[in-house]
Structures are given as structure tokens and as C-alpha cells.
A and B are shown apart, each in its own frame.
Chain A
Amino acid sequence: ETVLTQSPGTLSVSPGDTATLSCRASESVSSTYLSWYQQKPGQAPRLLIYDASTRATGIPDRFSGSGSGTDFTLTISRLEPEDLAVYYCQQYGTSPQLTFGGGTKVEIK
């Protein structure tokens, strides 16, 4: 089973600053199979990034993904108050077919 470990657990960032979120896999993950999601309070998650670095439809360019192998990063530039959310990474692979990281909560200072 591929375990995804996200850090930090909570990130407190001021509006206008940059947030850097980490997702580390216990074994190598194909970039094609790594996605990021945003879950705002009381809402369902929303696809942000797929194939490690491709923004989903309608996602602003403030959100960017990078990484390969076992280390992946989600970067949120020019942070806005509406970016308050929990962010999850997800990989698609072998059994179990699909796993999520534990999430990083982004707080606005």
C-alpha cells in the first residue's frame, strides 16, 4: 500500500503570501497518478491539480503543482482569504487502488 504523508498538518499564512504544501509517498508514484484537492468548510472536495502539475478547469493560476517520484508539492501564491481549506493529495495505483494523504489545513492569519 502506498502511504501519502502530508506536511505540515496546519499552515497559517497571511493574505498575499505563498503557501507551500508537501505530499510524500512511501514509494514512487507516477506523476500521471498524483492529484490535489481542495475542501472548503462544509463542502465536498474539489479537484485542483492532476497529473501532478496540470490545473483542473477553472482553477486560477495561483495554484501550481510540482514534483515527481516520492515528493510532490502544491504551491498557493498570492494567498486569498477564500483559500481557507483543507488540501489533500491523492494517488492512483495498486491495491488499494486509490489513497489520500491526511490533509493540510490552510489557515489565514
Chain B
Amino acid sequence: QVQLQESGPGLVKPSETLTLTCTVSGGAISSYYWNWIRQPPGKGLEWIGYISYTGSTNFNPSLRSRVTMSLDKSKKEFSLKVNSVTAADTAVYYCVRLWASRLDYWGQGNLVTVSS
């Protein structure tokens, strides 16, 4: 059974960089697109972007200028960095596998609060 697990700090100061890592277990990292999706408290889902198994990336235009993603195949991990964070970046961040246009496996989510 494929499992994804987010890890990272739960609190980030304004203007700093948010960094999260997702570890994939129970399945291959090749042949899929690895996504980050976030959900502000009480609100809907927002796609941040993905990194493919080849390392190519695709980001939501609304966040593109502040986001980077990386992939470590040997560790079966992929990471998200969002710089210059503000309170509007406070959300639960999910790492998610994308296969053939559908998001089939989700991590449990990591709440990140931006506050001084």
C-alpha cells in the first residue's frame, strides 16, 4: 500500500521560507507526478504544483515566483519550499501522488502556521 508522509515545522515566521518534505513508501517514485496541495483553515483546496520523476516541474501561476520543488529518488522523498511567507500561507499542506490526471494517494497533511 502506497503511503505518503509529510514532515516539517509547524510554525514559520513571516518573510521566512517554509520547507516541507514528503516521504513515499510502499510504491515506486518513478512514473508519477508528485504534488503539493494546500488548504487554509476552513477553506478549499489549492494546487501548488508538482515535480515529475524526471525532475520537471509545473507550478500554479499564483505561487510560481515563490515556490521551488526537488526530488531525491534514492531516498524516495520530494520537497517543497515557499519563500517570503505571510499569514496567507497558513494552511494544511498535503503531498499527493498524481497518476493519469487523478490524485490517488494523499498524505495525512501538515499544518503550517505563519506567525511571529
Q: Which A residues contact B (CB, under 8 angstroms)?
A: 32-33, 35, 37, 44-47, 50-51, 56, 88, 90, 92, 95-103
Contact = CB atoms under 8 A, between A and B. Distances in A.
Taking residues whose C-beta sits less than 8 angstroms from the other chain, chain B's interface range is 20 to 34
B106 A44 contact: yes
Contacts of B61: 95-96
B47 A98 contact: yes
B72 interface: no
Tell which of A99, A100, A102 has the most Cβ of chain B within 10 Å: A100
Contact of A35 (B58, B60, B102): B102
B62 interface: yes
Given A45-B45, A103-B44, A97 B103 contact: no
30 contacts: A32-B101, A33-B101, A35-B101, A44-B94, A44-B107, A44-B108, A44-B109, A45-B45, A46-B106, A50-B100, A50-B101, A50-B102, A56-B102, A56-B104, A88-B44, A90-B45, A92-B101, A95-B61, A96-B47, A96-B61, A97-B47, A97-B50, A97-B58, A97-B60, A98-B35, A98-B50, A98-B98, A99-B47, A100-B45, A103-B45
B16 interface: no
A97 B96 CA distance: 15
Contacts of A45: 45, 94, 103, 106
B67 to A, nearest CB: 12
A29 to B, nearest CB: 10
Contacts of A100: 44-47
A82 to B, nearest CB: 18
A60 B35 CA distance: 27
A45 to B, nearest CB: 6
Given A44-B106, A44-B109, 17 more contacts: A33-B101, A35-B101, A35-B103, A44-B107, A45-B106, A47-B102, A47-B104, A50-B100, A50-B104, A88-B44, A90-B102, A95-B61, A96-B60, A97-B58, A100-B44, A102-B44, A103-B45
